[in-house]
Structure 1
Amino acid sequence: MGWLRNAMIGAVVVVAAGASMVATRPPVAEATATDASRTDVRVAVVGDSLSAGRSRFLGNGLDDESWMTYANGDGIEFAGGWARSGATPDEMAAAVQPVRNVDVLVVLAGTNAVRVGRTVAQEEQAYRTIARVVGAREVIVSALPPYDWKAAEALRYNRELQRFATNSGWTWVDPWVFARSGNGWAAGVSVDGTHPAGPEQYQRLGESFRRIILEDVRTRAPFRVGR
């Protein structure tokens, strides 16, 4: 895309929220970028099962239940990151490592905080640590999806997270519009009340994130990728 050559681009780290725990902590996934003249947006992902894919750990690579699979390519490049099923924001902050040549950080995290009864106030430092360690120029913080098991608590967490993200100078987004019906899931989008139902729904989530990332790039133009 020609406009990308003159666009100011920030790489994306996404933190996603899921529910089931995995005990192991394999190495952080990282893709490398060596071309100083690159024009793609470098996107790094940090999170839990909503970003971890079928294997429940992002370090095993992208698959058909990784939303990043569908956002990647044609102007967006996956930069690496960390996501593990069941992780809370403070666990992500303890595990995440710097990602090279990152332009934008996208954070999708908090469903597991809701699950274990933690608040945004208790997790604020974790979000700050994730942003600081990854080192992206731009930070995008995502709304949580519906969470049927603690619906009211998830709504409250979303409101508090939006306020915290905005006050921190980060960009707040909601990629889940397609998935919502009132305060719950739209019909057919989720089976377990926590996650998208399968590859088709993760594709819609990835396409939603892709639009958000590229729109963020356009509104922040001009800037040079990787600078």
Structure 2
Amino acid sequence: MGLRGASTLGLAAVAAVCAVLAGCSVPGAAEQPRPSETSAAEPAVPDASGGLTFAAVGDSITDADSPDFMAGDLGAASWATYVRDAGFGFAGGWAEWGATTARMLDEVAAYEADVLVVLAGTNDVAFGVPFAETTSNLERIVDTAGITEVVVVSIPPIDADPDGADAFNDRLEAVARDRGWRFVDGSAGLRTGDGTFREGMSSDGLHPSEAGAKVLGEAIAEELGEE
């Protein structure tokens, strides 16, 4: 997978990551939800074409510039757009800027879909959430969603803390295998050898650009196609 070994997330790295997060949102807060987002959004209607459907749970990496993610109005910087473009039906889910796995757990619901795709953890890394807590949250998210087939996706690079992202992904892969979930290193195409974003894959060192979202989405679609 090309993921590097675990490393300790230093205080300087935490400060740098939080600065990047804050720089993309409301001053003084990390990745706040955009004003247009509410928990009361109408859920997406599952694709009726007879193809494989997926539900997604995530944070700003998933929501990105979507006008109304939960209603299926996806943006060009959301990887879910490119999974849908590959022929998979979007059946809803939940994603919001700044969401930790704990926040996702608070909002996740039961979904009608063939596969649940979870891309979560960037904010847990940034705020030093213990990995055991992240693991527990992910287990409960999956249980609540009620979808048997689960695909867990690696988080994208964090340029301010590449070792932290790599270490998280190493542990995430092990947890996925232990729980019987499928793991895909969808972020591999975004990553350089030193764990940072490849040129053109991000504009801020944290969120994939449209080009990066396309690479990420196509990798996830390829995994779904192996169903």
Structure 1 length-normalised TM: 0.78
Where relative contact order (Cα < 8 A, 6+ residues apart) is larger, the structure is: 1
Q: Give distance in 2, aligned partners of 1:30 and 1:151.
A: 35
Q: Is contact 2:149-2:181 (8 Å) kept? A: yes
Which deviates further from its counterpart, 89-98 or 54-63? 54-63
Choose from 109, 134, 139 the match for 2:150.
139
Answering whether residue 41 of structure 2 is matched by residue 31 of structure 1, we say no
1:210 aligns with 2:221: yes
Q: CA RMSD in A?
A: 2.2
Kept after mapping to 2: 8 A contact 1:22/1:56 = no
The one-letter code sitting in structure 1 at the alignment partner of 2:110 is: P
Does residue 1:110 correspond to 2:121, yes or no?
A: yes
Single out whichever of 150-159 and 140-149 deviates more from structure 2. 150-159
From 125, 128, 132, give the equivalent of 2:136: 125
Which residue matches 1:70? 82
Letter in 2 for 1:173: V
Q: How far off its partner does 1:116 sit?
A: 0.5
Secondary structure of the residue aligned to 1:184 is: coil
Of 45, 49, 66, which aligns to 2:56? Answer: 45
**Sequence identity, in percent?**
33
Residues 58, 34 of structure 1: CA spacing in aligned structure 2 closer, same or farther, 3 A cutoff? closer
8 Å CA contact 2:200, 2:211 repeated in 1: no
CA distance in 2, matches of 1:161, 1:200: 25
Does 2:216 correspond to 1:189?
A: no
Find out whether 1:177 has 2:210 as its counterpart.
Answer: no
One-letter identity of the residue aligned with 1:26: S
Contact 1:48–1:87 (CA under 8 A) maintained in structure 2 = yes
Equivalent residue in structure 2 for 1:95, among 107, 111, 114:
107
**For structure 2, which runs of at least 5 residues remain unmatched after alignment?**
1-19, 22-30
| 1:90 Cα deviation from its structure 2 partner | 0.9
Unaligned runs of 5+ in 1: 1-17, 218-227
Change (3 A) 1:107 1:74: closer
Q: Is residue 2:176 matched to residue 1:165?
A: yes
Alignment of 1:50-65 (within 5 A): 50-55=61-66, 58-59=69-70, 61-65=73-77
Structure 2 CA distance, aligned partners of 1:155 and 1:204? 18
Distance of 1:134 and 1:105 partners within structure 2: 8
Partners of 1:89 and 1:126 within 8 A in 2: yes
CA contact (8 A) 2:53 2:88 kept: yes
Matched, 1:84 2:96: yes
